Amino acid sequence: MARFLTYWQQRGELGSFDPDVVAELFVRLTISFIANPHGVLPLGDTEAARDFARRYLAPLMYPQSGSD
């Protein structure tokens, strides 16, 4: 996954971040969702899951500097 993130960064499609760290976070989250799919996160509703991803996961790939 880190290799894909690096590729997209080089193309200018993603922000500046450590792709190894973000890849590990996404993999760990995915494993957690598979191991325990029940919780308050809207994983069963496609549109709600997309909204969740846009709100909470996308910022990992488009980080803002502390001055913004």
Q: Where are the domains of the chain?
A: 2-61
- Do residues 41 and 32 lie in contact, with contact meaning Cβ atoms separated by under 8 Å? no
Residue 63: predicted pLDDT: 72
Please determine, for residue 11, whether its predicted confidence score (pLDDT) is greater than 50. Answer: yes
| Residue in this structure with the two tokens 């980080």, named with its chain if needed | 63
The stretch 1-17 carries a mean pLDDT of 92
pLDDT digits (tens, 9 = 90+) for 13-58: 888 899 999 999 999 998 998 898 888 988 889 999 899 889 988 8
Distance CA 51, CA 53 (A): 5
- Retrieve residue 62's tokens: 């488009």
| Residue in this structure with the two tokens 């799919």, named with its chain if needed | 37
